[in-house]
Chains A and B, each alone.
Chain A
């Protein structure tokens, strides 16, 4: 796939600038966005409070309203094309244990039946893939993951549940994800992880970041309870390896 790397700069109110790439979900676009983001983080000219990554966008929230978009654009363009080597951030592959037991995977049967798959095939298709964290949004610690296999695409529920439990692993349309907190939600629940995706008591409340990778590892109900116990006693480390 040949990607158009032309990017556009738009004002978003008078205190934010929206930078947009071609409207496709693609890892190469994400890499370009992240490289630009790291360059912005390392410069001093543009003073910002937040950098928000989207599938094909980067939004810069500025500390102060800007007067002339053209001036900001010029500075940003020179940052984008600068050849300075950015200190590459380490990206990790996080191994997330998931219990696909039917006790947790309350929609697993329906997904399997309608997709003409066995439950084991759904579990295998879901857990053999490595997913890319595009960005975090919707809820604190909710990862937007790319890479769900087409055979698992499954429409959201027509009527969302009022409460989906924290840790639920679910499929919604062409996406898969983990609910970081109890929340209303319309995705189809296929399992549950004991891993907390957002914890305000940690120095870094959300372990994953844009560009990291996620791999789900099937575990038994027994292992689920063991890990949950360890997490409660604060003696569990999520397994991670450095991504290439």
Chain B
């Protein structure tokens, strides 16, 4: 078990999400920065489907109630184990009683902690990803006990750590494809969409990121149709919304762009006031 001493700003258990339930209106969910979550699992030779802890903006403190191995990837919240700094992207042995604290971020918005064998919290609809009205709680809480694999097969401690390109956190380019309603845009609107440096409003969370800059339009709603994580919607007020992992399965605003899978992970590390530019990829 791992005991949550401090929940921090927002932390939740996430895996690769709920696949196959969209027809019932169930969002995919899953790690916002899937790339970093996979890195943390890989460092422990875990299955890529194993659940990890997603920590947003730090402040989370955990106590290990048994020995195991962990790996921390994604945003750097300068984590300390028993007050001693630990390295990110490296396999680390922890012992019963050890306390791991995530502090403030120096880079990025979301950190991922994998544990050997993965978190063993309850699966609901084939996934451990926490989501309101699907799992009992939608985030981890103070004093909660999180189940982990007991007696994991011993791993060799290693001094090697993985080098992750800082580009994943600092690049402002967001790679995307034309969305199904891209064709509605005039040449002028396309230029604005692809040349503007957009900034993220304070309205950003696991469901979606609203951007501050607007694109004037007189588009009608479309007949309600599927939306996906990474879909960029253009609202009648001109605001752009980039849908993220917890988004609804259907929507009615024109879908003008679709982020690539890796771009969703890049965006997940950005937060209020971060800047971005859409870079169109042709298929």
Task: Tell me if B133 and A53 are in contact (CB < 8 A).
Answer: no
- In the bound assembly, the distance between CA atoms of A164 and B54 in angstroms comes to 30
Partner of B25, one of A13, A16, A138: A138
Contact residues in A for B230 (Cβ distance below 8 Å): 13
* Nearest opposing residue in chain B for A144, CB measure: B224
Contact residues in B for A51 (Cβ distance below 8 Å): 22-23
**A23 interface residue (CB < 8 Å to B):** yes
- In the bound assembly, the distance between CA atoms of A29 and B35 in angstroms comes to 39
Task: Tell me if A139 and B248 are in contact (CB < 8 A).
Answer: yes
Task: Tell me if B226 and A52 are in contact (CB < 8 A).
Answer: yes
Chain B positions 116 through 139: 1 when the CB is less than 8 Å from some CB of chain A, otherwise 0: 000000001100000001100000
Chain A positions 151 through 169: 1 when the CB is less than 8 Å from some CB of chain B, otherwise 0: 0000000000000000000
- In the bound assembly, the distance between CA atoms of A198 and B248 in angstroms comes to 15
Closest Cβ of chain A: how far from B72's Cβ, in Å? 29
Contacts known (A13-B228, A16-B228, A209-B23); A137 close to B249, Cβ less than 8 A: yes
Task: Tell me if A140 and B179 are in contact (CB < 8 A).
Answer: no
- In the bound assembly, the distance between CA atoms of A242 and B214 in angstroms comes to 50
Chain B interface size range = 20 to 34
* Nearest opposing residue in chain A for B135, CB measure: A200
Closest Cβ of chain A: how far from B225's Cβ, in Å? 3
- In the bound assembly, the distance between CA atoms of A209 and B24 in angstroms comes to 8
Contacts known (A12-B180, A49-B20, A198-B133); A136 close to B224, Cβ less than 8 A: no
Which of B19, B24, B133, B261 has the most chain A CB atoms inside 10 A of its CB?
B24
**A181 interface residue (CB < 8 Å to B):** yes
* Nearest opposing residue in chain A for B136, CB measure: A200
Task: Give the contact stretch, choosing among A54-62, A80-88, A89-97, A104-112.
Answer: A54-62
- In the bound assembly, the distance between CA atoms of A59 and B27 in angstroms comes to 15
Contact residues in B for A206 (Cβ distance below 8 Å): 24-25
**A117 interface residue (CB < 8 Å to B):** no
Task: Tell me if A61 and B250 are in contact (CB < 8 A).
Answer: no
Closest Cβ of chain A: how far from B181's Cβ, in Å? 10
Contacts known (A50-B23, A52-B249, A140-B26); A13 close to B223, Cβ less than 8 A: no
Contact residues in B for A65 (Cβ distance below 8 Å): 261
**A118 interface residue (CB < 8 Å to B):** no
- In the bound assembly, the distance between CA atoms of A168 and B125 in angstroms comes to 25
**CB within 8 Å of B: which A1-22 residues:** 10-16, 18, 20
Contacts known (A51-B23, A53-B23, A54-B225); A69 close to B250, Cβ less than 8 A: no
Task: Tell me if A137 and B248 are in contact (CB < 8 A).
Answer: yes
- In the bound assembly, the distance between CA atoms of A119 and B177 in angstroms comes to 51
Contact residues in B for A187 (Cβ distance below 8 Å): none
Contact residues in B for A54 (Cβ distance below 8 Å): 223-226, 250
Contact residues in B for A12 (Cβ distance below 8 Å): 179-180, 226, 228, 255, 258
- In the bound assembly, the distance between CA atoms of A53 and B226 in angstroms comes to 7
**B283 interface residue (CB < 8 Å to A):** yes
Task: Tell me if A140 and B133 are in contact (CB < 8 A).
Answer: yes
Chain B positions 240 through 280: 1 when the CB is less than 8 Å from some CB of chain A, otherwise 0: 00000000111100010011110000000000000000000
Task: Tell me if B177 and A14 are in contact (CB < 8 A).
Answer: yes
Contact residues in B for A184 (Cβ distance below 8 Å): none
Contact residues in A for B20 (Cβ distance below 8 Å): 49-50
Task: Tell me if B228 and A140 are in contact (CB < 8 A).
Answer: no
Contact residues in A for B226 (Cβ distance below 8 Å): 12, 16, 18, 52, 54, 57, 59
Contact residues in A for B255 (Cβ distance below 8 Å): 12
Task: Tell me if B223 and A23 are in contact (CB < 8 A).
Answer: yes
Supplied contacts A12-B226, A12-B255, 10 more A-B pairs, CB within 8 Å: A11-B177, A18-B226, A50-B20, A57-B225, A137-B224, A142-B25, A180-B25, A198-B24, A200-B134, A205-B26
Residues of A participating in the B interface, judged by any CB pair closer than 8 Å: 10-16, 18, 20, 23, 25, 49-57, 59, 61, 65, 69, 135-142, 144, 180-181, 198, 200, 205-206, 209-210
* A-B contact list, 26 entries, CB within 8 Å: A10-B180, A11-B178, A13-B258, A15-B261, A18-B180, A18-B225, A20-B180, A25-B223, A50-B23, A52-B22, A52-B23, A52-B249, A54-B224, A57-B225, A57-B226, A59-B225, A59-B226, A61-B228, A65-B261, A135-B23, A136-B24, A137-B250, A140-B133, A144-B224, A198-B24, A198-B133
